[in-house]
Amino acid sequence: MEDQILLAEHITVQRSGTAIVNDVSVSLQRGEVLAIVGPNGAGKTTFMKAILGLTQSRGKITWAPDVTIGYVPQKVSISSSFPVTVGEFFLLKSREAFWFRSKKSQSNVWLARVGAEHLVDKKMAELSGGELQRVLIAYALSGDANVLCLDEPSAGIDIGGGQTVYGLLSELRKTQNKTVILISHDLDVVFKYADQVLCIDQRMICSGRPSTVLTTETLERMYGAHATVYPHHNHNHHV
């Protein structure tokens, strides 16, 4: 299809003879938000790493030829003994010289988009969880990425920080037609922001529109017999 940006077919990842991800397929259109959900240890991060080529896998992964990916991993831990500043971090990806940063650096533009331009001279190791997440998203966007892959972007940050991150992603999608692949445990987020959901628990449990495929039955298959969906009046959902 013309607007298809990713086609992953029959992806299997094995470690020490055990399948961590088993025969999972997904197809994604340009500008869509795909949420990957599943219990702890279901292979969500491994699947994301497989489609990014960060881990060896079997199957076929086809990205659109013009794809540029920005990736925000689950955990970025920068030691306090590594004094790299936010501005320097952005220079690592840009074509600007590392040693002579101008005040009109492109990093300011990207940081401004996530409301973090005031952090440019701060050390990465001194950022709070929410600040770090904003900076990492801005960094992921900074190479003019058309696909953002985010592994639990709200993990380790407070509710307000999480809402800001998802609000930002929603805006990016609307205004810049970015394709987003995100891993989340929060089904509220999935219902609110995702066009497509991929449920995995080593193997594929469901795939499609959240309102169609996230049924009590599929949730029970993933999370156990006590899981169900409670619709809210404001269309939010809880497990």
Partner 1 sequence: MVHMQLFIRTIITTTMFEIISLPFFQRAIIVGIVMAITAALLGVFVVIRRMSFFTDAVSHASLTGVALALLVGVHPFIGAVIVSILVGLLVSRLQKSGKQEVDTIIGVLFSTTLALGVLIISLMNGYRGNLFQYLFGDIIAVNSNDVIVSIVLLGVVLVVLFSAFKSLTKVAVHEDMARVDGVRVGLVDGLFLVVLAAVVAVGLKVVGAILMSALMILPAATAQYLAKSFRSMVILSVVSAVIAMCGGLFVAAAFSLPTGPTIVLVSAGLFVLAALGGILKSR
Count of residues interacting with partner 1 (CB under 8 A):
28
* Cα 99 from Cα 79, distance rounded (Å): 22
Binder among 73, 129, 156, 208 for partner 1 (CB under 8 A): 73
CA neighbor of 72 nearest in space, from 19, 24, 140: 140
Rule CB under 8 A: is residue 67 a binding residue for partner 1?
Answer: no
CA neighbor of 154 nearest in space, from 72, 68, 238, 236: 72
Beta strand 147-151 pairing with 179-183: parallel
Rule CB under 8 A: is residue 161 a binding residue for partner 1?
Answer: no
Asked whether 139 and 149 are in contact (CB, 8 A), the reply is: no
Binder among 89, 90, 110, 193 for partner 1 (CB under 8 A): 89
Which residues contact residue 137 at a Cβ distance below 8 angstroms, ignoring those fewer than 6 apart? Answer: 70, 72, 114, 148, 150, 153, 165, 168, 169
The contact pattern for partner 1, residues 164-203, with x = CB under 8 A and - = no contact, is: ----------------------------------------
Using CB under 8 A, which of the segments 68-76, 107-115, 152-160, 201-209 binds partner 1?
68-76
Identify which of residues 17 and 224 has a Cβ nearer to partner 1 in the complex: 17
- Residues near partner 1, by CB under 8 A: 49, 52-54, 69-71, 73, 76, 78-79, 81-85, 88-89, 91-93, 98-99, 121, 123-124, 143, 149
